[in-house]
Chains A and B, each alone.
Chain A
Amino acid sequence: MSIVTVQLGQCGNQIGHEVFNTICSDVRDTHGLCSKKENESYRDASKERFFCEEQSEVPVARAVLIDMEPKVISQTLSLAARSGYWKYDDGSHFSQKQGSGNNWANGYSVHGPRHKEVIMDLVQKEAEKCDRLAGFFTIMSMAGGTGSGLGAFVTQCLRDAFPTSFLLNHVIWPYSTGEVIVQNYNSVLTLSHLYKSADALLVHENDVVHKICAQLMNIKQISFKDINQVIAHQLGSVFQPTYTAEGGLHYSRNPLGDLMETLVPHPEFKMLGLRNIPQMPENSLAYSTFSWPGLIKHLRQMLIANAKMEEGIDWQVQPPRLGSSIPSSHSTNKPLHFNTSIANLVILRGKDMHSVDLGSFQDPSLYTSWLNPKDAFHSWKTLRAFNKYEKSASLVSNSQFLLKPLDNVVGKAWNMFASKAYIHQYTKFGIEEEDFLDSFTALEQVISSYSSL
């Protein structure tokens, strides 16, 4: 089954490009440290998912590029074409002359309705190219105007036009400071609207990825390209083909559906986080070896201590003993920041993965009480190594990991809202104070749901 990627705004288009680049270069890897047959079926499955090969020689990405400003898209298109290994469809992009100016209301209430028909036509055309459509993967940021505002609008339109398809929104969480001043307003509006229409939100925080670039990838002068590459790697490690437990001998057909089924058991909880291990500079890879138990142990601790990367994990955090109702009843000085999960998915790629014991993830104390741990944990596996990493493990988790950032964003936005700063910029385009209040309420509900786990 195929996924149609919708790239929105500067951020979405830049990341989308890196994602296709990563997938393409991974697929081009001829041996992938597995049998030839294995590698071929992996490649076919991946190509079907992300590319179509009609008349053209190189694969064409199943993507729709949307921005309200021409520079980024033209750059993205030509970069892809120049790579020589894949390209975007010449007809499946839409751009305007003037951006949304960081104004969510401009994207949502002005650009959205004005260009709805053109955009939905493009999406429709792209969807019709798929033999079987699995769903839509929308890449956008929350901070700006086009990605966030138009993104929220387009997601709604997708929901209306494709009521049975899966919608996964990949959302970039802005740096806590220094990107866009109205980013907290835009984020609150985006999240509350996406929560209504998307099936799940997969979140990457810029701050976290920045840290990964600095500490794990050892990059001195970090550019947005570096950041986007890390994000693309992590996304690829989830969306490249794998075997699910039920799928038997075939690569999973429906990556988005499987993901939702596994991780989103309740419509109130749809925030997904992604962790990946190991990550290191490419030139260090050759000198490193990893053992599965080590990787799994780290990954598990990253989950329960809510560490976003393998360095600086708090090893003190332990799951609460079953039976004790209050997690912090331990006599340690440090308060426990235990991260309760609703559902987790571990994806293993590389040799010997059959021997891996994932029992530690099935511990009932990791999960909320209302879901059977057997239903709450799943694993996908493949022998095919991913993107030059001999072994790699990814964890997609629906847990409390985003509670603090979300609370921060809502708090800061509320603080600004209380003084009515910048509100006039939104009312100018038809987003009134009441809309803000509705969004605040919706997110407070999400926060309280997640904190009561």
Chain B
Amino acid sequence: MAPRAHYPPPQPLPDPRLSPLQWASAGTRWAAASGTWRCGSTPTSTRSGGDGPDIYKGKICSLKARALLIDMEEGVVNEILQGPLRDVFDSKQLITDVSGSGNNWAVGHKLYGSQYRENIVEKLRKAAEHCECLQCFFIIHSMGGGTGSGLGTFVLKLLEDEFPEVYRFVTSVYPSGEDDVITSPYNSVLAMKELNEHADCVLPIENESLFDIVNKIHQMANSGKLGSTVKQNSLITSSAGSAKTAQEKPFDAMNNILANLLLNLTSSARFEGSLNMDLNEITMNLVPFPRLHYLVSSLTPLYTLADVNVPSRRLDQMFSDAFSRDHQLIQADPKHSLYLACALLVRGNVQVSDLRRNIERLKPSLHFVSWNQEGWKTGLCSVPPVGHSHSLLALANNTCVKPTFIELKDRFMKLYKKKVQLIIITSVATNHEYLALLKQILVSQRSCLKVTAQDFCLCYLKKSFQWLLLKKGNLLIDLYIPGYILIVFSSELVSDRSAYQLEMD
């Protein structure tokens, strides 16, 4: 049963200018705590492993990613270590377990949190010690699962305690409506609470949006409508570069959008520009009130233009696109919602007059909150992404995030109201205690839920994705299971039983 919010690591970036190498040599240092969720993490920065950064035949040799890869199972991380980016990571940067978090926020947050706390802190400290000036942590995780959302938000809290001065930017992948993790609304809502309190800035991302964007690019590239002006492979989705492996995984294109988001976000700190915009300026300008720190992002242009001498119309199109529904990284329409603030991070051959013209042009069609009618923040970085003559990342603090959150809440309430009770056992010492507790729960639940003898509870044992039926008085529980299980009591689930059984395969 594979949740859809899978993010294998993004492909290595093809050009040295964009490669993590430059992130280090540009003199600005980050540490990245990548709370990997069910799958994968993104290296966001590197540190020099030797005397200096070194590139040999387009491959990074002596650099190590300034990243911490955390997953409570081994598959994905192992894949990374065998993949093209293996030289960038070493085993000191990994924290893995074998049993996973079973799509249970509490397991990730409470159990693994306390279990791995020391280990995580130590590794973070080590990474931080290598930084001349630690500015920001990027946390990349998903909201629906157990490790990313639970342990991820635990790490977030940990970072606040250990490095209170350092900014915490979180890139959160929100579950979609058809998410196949039953518990994802619970996990997401629990994680949201942590994000509200401990993050400086959250960039919500939705899989559906990424998927649509990838499709759109493929359509554009294949339709031939734009003729020779569009290269077949857009940089945002493809990584036509040195370290690319033969087979491209389905999520690679989507992950690359995310990678580009982070690259553009940090471009001004890495390269020169006539109007710098550091990471701390993002929170300063876009977060008017401490908890309203959810920023909707959009990237343009999505395809690489072959013609470098861009006519002005196309440049203006880039600005218009950034505000269109199709280019947002969540399912939202900022144009018809209220802006609290908006930032434009421009890269490449764009001058202040282009910026001003476009702001003037777009302003009438956008609604800004009364006390911030001129809520625009701009940054100009002179180095464009590879293959582009210019690019734009728009960050909006906009009320259009509301539908995403409301939908999440509705799904949460639906589950909650249906009396699908989730009993989350977070600390069990021995199997004996565990069985006793389980019995106790069964008894108490029966009394309050009027569970009949035919009712059953589903034990969702995460590691092997096995579903065990628990019948009254006949507990079919393997005594060697770890002490953490998620039990779903419900009479309504009976009818779904066959469905679940199908998924077991």
Contacts and interface: CB of A to CB of B under 8 A. Distances in A.
Given A221-B351, A227-B352, A97 B285 contact: no
A217 to B, nearest CB: 12
Question: How many residues of B sit at the interface, in one of the four size bands?
Answer: 35 or more
Contacts of B283: 101, 425
Given A72-B276, A181-B376, A227-B352, A425 B133 contact: no
A243 interface: no
Nearest to A67: B276
Given A10-B276, A421-B371, A182 B284 contact: yes
Interface stretch (B12-20, B34-42, B354-362): B354-362
B375 interface: yes
A48 B390 CA distance: 44
Interface string B255-295: 00000000000000000101110111101111111100000
Among B28, B288, B354, which residue has the most Cβ atoms of chain A within 10 A? Answer: B288
A326 B426 CA distance: 81
B276 A99 contact: yes
A101 B269 CA distance: 12
B454 interface: no
A121 B287 CA distance: 37
Given A101-B284, A424-B289, A424-B290, A178 B371 contact: no
A182 B285 contact: yes
B269 to A, nearest CB: 9
B272 A75 contact: yes
B27 A180 contact: no
Given A98-B278, A222-B352, A70 B27 contact: yes
Contacts of A180: 281, 285, 377
A418 B372 CA distance: 11
B166 to A, nearest CB: 10
Nearest to B292: A421
A214 interface: yes
Nearest to B363: A177
Given A177-B359, A214-B353, A421 B289 contact: yes
Given A99-B278, A102-B284, A224-B352, A181 B377 contact: yes
A421 B288 contact: yes
A214 B377 CA distance: 22
B371 A415 contact: yes
Contacts of A418: 371
B378 interface: yes
Interface residues of A, number: 45
Among B135, B283, B353, which residue has the most Cβ atoms of chain A within 10 A? Answer: B353
B392 interface: no
A177 B133 CA distance: 32
A97 B27 contact: yes
A314 interface: no
Nearest to A213: B353
Main secondary structure of the interface of A (DSSP, over half): loop
A425 B286 CA distance: 11
Interface in A1-49: 10, 14
Nearest to A105: B284
A103 B200 CA distance: 15
Nearest to A75: B272
Given A177-B376, A181-B375, A222-B352, A98 B135 contact: yes
Main secondary structure of the interface of B (DSSP, over half): mixed
Contacts of B274: 14, 223-225
Contacts of A420: 289
A282 B88 CA distance: 52
A103 B133 contact: no
A97 B133 CA distance: 6
Interface in B333-365: 341, 343, 351-356, 359, 363
Interface string A172-198: 000111111110000000000000000
Interface in A192-240: 210, 213-214, 219-225, 227
A422 interface: yes
B359 A416 contact: no
A339 B281 CA distance: 38
B137 to A, nearest CB: 14
Contacts of B353: 210, 213-214, 219-223
B284 A178 contact: no
A223 B376 CA distance: 18
Contacts, number: 119
A419 interface: yes
B132 interface: yes
A444 interface: no
A57 B288 CA distance: 52
B288 A422 contact: yes
A100 B375 CA distance: 19
Contacts of B284: 101-103, 145, 182, 422, 425
A71 interface: yes
Interface in A418-432: 418-422, 424-425
A97 B354 CA distance: 30
B281 A421 contact: no
A424 B288 CA distance: 8
A412 interface: yes
A101 B278 contact: yes
Contact of A224 (B275, B371, B374): B275
Contacts of B352: 210, 222-224, 227
B371 A419 contact: yes
Contacts of A89: none
B163 to A, nearest CB: 13
Interface in B129-143: 132-133, 135
B228 to A, nearest CB: 26
Contacts of A416: 371-372
Contacts of B135: 97-98
A91 B352 CA distance: 32
B285 A98 contact: no
B272 to A, nearest CB: 6
A335 B355 CA distance: 34
A11 to B, nearest CB: 9
A14 B370 CA distance: 34
A14 B274 CA distance: 9
Given A178-B378, A421-B289, A425-B284, A221 B278 contact: no
Interface string B84-120: 0000000000000000000000000000000000000
B374 A177 contact: yes
Nearest to A424: B290
A152 B425 CA distance: 57
A182 B343 CA distance: 12
A14 B275 CA distance: 10
Contacts of B354: 221
Contacts of A425: 283-284, 287
Interface string A356-394: 000000000000000000000000000000000000000
Given A224-B351, A425-B283, 8 more contacts: A101-B281, A177-B374, A178-B377, A213-B353, A222-B353, A225-B274, A424-B289, A425-B287
Interface of A: 10, 14, 69-72, 75, 96-103, 145, 175-182, 210, 213-214, 219-225, 227, 412, 415-416, 418-422, 424-425
12 contacts: A10-B276, A70-B27, A72-B272, A96-B133, A177-B376, A180-B281, A182-B284, A219-B353, A222-B351, A225-B274, A416-B371, A421-B371
Interface of B: 27-29, 132-133, 135, 272, 274-276, 278-281, 283-290, 341, 343, 351-356, 359, 363, 370-378, 380
Q: Which 7 A-B pairs have the closest CB atoms?
A: A101-B280, A97-B133, A177-B374, A222-B353, A421-B288, A178-B376, A181-B285
